[in-house]
Structure formats: structure tokens, C-alpha cells
Amino acid sequence: MKVYHVIGLMSGTSLDGLDIAHCAFKLDKGKWRYSINCAETIKYNKAWQLKLKEAHLLTAEKLLQTHSEYGELLGKQVLRFKKKHKLKNVDLVSSHGHTIFHNPKGGFTFQLGNGASLASVCGIKTVCDFRILDVALKGQGAPLVPIGDRLLFSEYEFCLNLGGYSNISFELNNKRIAFDICPVNTALNYLAEAKGKSFDKGGAMAKSGQVDKLLLEKLNRLGYYKKEPPKSLGREWLEEYFLPIINSSSISIEDKLATVTEHITCQISQANIRSNKKGKVLITGGGANNTFLILRLKEKMPEYQIIIPEITLINFKEALVFAFLGVLRIEERTNTLHSVTGAIQDSSGGVIFIP
């Protein structure tokens, strides 16, 4: 029975850092088993935070240079992580990269972090660029985590991620259905920054504010929420539709945080209703640490069993699943589901670099 030892890399849109996890996978009697052996989040310094935040504004030449530089940074972090944790057996590095452009309607998506640069620095077989094949197959290129939800977390009726954006995954009529629901940490962190904080710890500022009904109604009326899946969100949508509504309001930051939190719980509770079933909801991602958000979610969804797992899974589930996507790619198994993305067929996405 082959055991894969993989380092998974994930950089989320909320810019809170690079998640890096050393994971093991094996196929045992037809079921995939996993473990997270060690993991950490590496905070970006201010220079890299600014580079990632403003990368979409770069010239083509400068963007390509940054693409290689970021790949080298990822490779160096792999080596540092491997040395720190005394990892002798690493078969694969599997990297999501950092999303700069995501426009499946326009036929493109771009994740920063050149896989060739990464592999050349760390000297380990590397898989990256998981989204581009699905977009070429007329899919959304997102979300990609649902194959992991199906194969690694089948005991839960729903898998809900509260990251830069919220997304949900569940089985319906023997098909995996998944889609982005609404902004979460991208919007909440944006507002917290106006108060000089990188995030609203525990949702304390939101809890101190009051929900503004007019702003809440405007947010809930956004056209995206009426669309049927498959559908996905990105920075472009946030900047064009969501943030202008928030910025047009003159209420306090605390009230805006309270209103956006209420909006998030409204959209998530409505998304679950779409499935016409009840059950256990596994919640992971940074938003799972927002106690006020989780409290409001539980109040909105009393008929569901909300499961908040141990902290390692909360923080590193996406890094784990992208490590798993790399294993599926190496084995030439399906790692992207057209029932989720709307592509013309399932596929095994990811570009492989062998240094």
C-alpha cells in the first residue's frame, strides 16, 4: 500500500499568510486516509503583502518577474519547513499559488507562483496551476476542494469553508454540488483595516455594532446570489459590486461589520436550504475562529449540527486538500468535478514539474 508524503501550499485571498502542511495519504480498501503531520502559517512581511495585494495592477513584464520571484519564495519556504520539521520523506509539493486574476467568463485564471521556479529551488517534484485546465474546459475553475470533501470527509453532509470567500459542498442526486456563497474575510478584513487592525478578532467589533437594514437589503439583493450554480467569486466581483455598496454607506465601521456578518449568515443559511436536506456541517477556514459569526450562524441554522473541528483542520484543510489534489494528479485520477465547476467534463488538473 503506497503512502504519499506531500507538502501542500495554500495562499488565500485574505492575505493572512502562506499555509504549509506536511500530509500523508494512502488508499486503504477503496477509501482514502489522510493525516496532517505538521503544519504552520507563515505570515507575509509587509513588502510581500503589498506585492500580492497590488499584483493585478502590474505591467505584464513585472507580473511575470513577480511570478518567478514568488515561486522562488515558495521553494525556499518548503526547504525551511522541511529542515525545521526534519522531514526526510517528501514525495511531492502541491501548490495552489496566490490568485491574482480569476475570470472564467473571459476564459482565464491566474495563480501567482511559478511552479518551475518552486521546483528548481526545493528540488522536489511539484504540481501547481490546478485551475487552468478546468477553465479551458469551460468551467469556473472553482471551487476545487469538493473532490477532497467527497473522498476525505464523506461523513459530513456539508463542508463549509469560511475563508476569503465562503463556499459549500454537498452531495445531491449522486453528484457533488459546490459553489462560492459570498465574501467573508475579504470583506470583514477590509473593514477592520479601516480601524487599523488586520482582522476583527473573534468578531468583537461586529458584535458591538448594530445591523443596518438598508445596507443589509442592498447586499442581499446583489445579482450573484440569484444565480444557479456552478458559480464562483473573485476579487474582480468584490471590487465592482460588493465594496461600492459598503463604501456608499455612512454608518460606523462597527455597524458595517455587524451588517456584513449578518449578510454572510443570511447567504450561508439560504445556500444550505438549496440542498433540501439536513445533517452535519463541517466548518473550516479562518472564519471558523470568528466566534460571533459562528454564534449567529448557529442561531440562523438551528436544525443543522454545526461541527467546528480541532484547530489544525480548521486552519489547514485547504492546504491538506491541495496536497491531495496533487496526489490525484500524479495518479492521473479525477481531481476536478464538472458537476461542481460546470466544465464539459471531469478532469485531472495540474501542471507537473520534475526538477
**Residue 340's pLDDT is what?**
95
Assign residue 326 the CATH number of its domain.
3.30.420.40
Q: Are 30 and 1 in contact (CB under 8 A)?
A: no
Question: What would the grid cell of residue 270 be?
Answer: 439560504
Q: How far is CA 41 from CA 8, 29, 117, 316, in A?
A: 12, 33, 21, 9
Same domain, 289 and 225: yes
Q: Are residues 209 and 175 in the same domain?
A: yes
How are strands ordered across the β-sheet holding 351-353? 31-42, 18-28, 3-11, 92-95, 126-128, 351-353
Where does 57-182 have alpha helices with state H? 60-84, 115-122, 132-136, 146-152
Claim to verify: residue 12 and residue 47 sit in the same structural domain? yes
- The values of phi and psi at residue 132, to 5°, are -70, -35
**Same domain, residue pair 123 and 171:** no
Q: Are strands 305-307 and 280-284 parallel, antiparallel or unpaired?
A: parallel
Tally the domains of the chain: 2
Whether residue 99 sits in one domain with residue 226: no
Question: Residues 74, 194: one domain?
Answer: no
Instruction: Judge if 108 and 167 occupy the same domain.
Output: no
Q: Are residues 131 and 279 in the same domain?
A: no
How far is residue 261's CA from residue 254's CA, in Å, rounded to a whole number?
A: 11
Residue 80 has which C-alpha cell? 525551511
Question: Residues 97, 200: one domain?
Answer: no
For the chain, 355 residues long, give each residue's pLDDT as a single digit of tens.
Answer: 799 999 999 998 778 899 999 999 999 999 999 999 999 999 999 999 999 999 999 999 999 999 999 999 999 999 999 999 999 999 999 999 999 999 999 999 999 999 999 999 999 999 999 999 999 999 999 999 999 999 999 999 999 999 999 999 999 888 999 999 999 999 999 999 999 999 999 999 999 999 999 999 999 999 999 999 989 898 999 999 999 999 999 999 999 999 999 999 999 998 866 666 789 999 999 999 999 999 999 999 999 999 999 999 999 999 999 999 999 999 999 999 999 999 999 999 999 999 9
Owning domain of residue 182: 146-312
Q: Per-residue DSSP letters for 73-99? A: HHHHHHHHHHHHTT-----EEEE--EE
- Output the pLDDT for position 15: 82
| Shared-domain flag, residues 124 and 180 | no
Q: What is the pLDDT of residue 21?
A: 98
Question: Quick one: 113 and 168 in the same domain?
Answer: no
C-alpha span between 62 and 218 (Å, rounded): 38
**Does the bond joining 230 to the residue before it have cis omega, within 30 degrees of 0?**
yes
Other CB atoms within 10 A of residue 191 CB: 23
**Same domain for 49 and 181:** no
What nine digits make up the cell of 13?
485571498
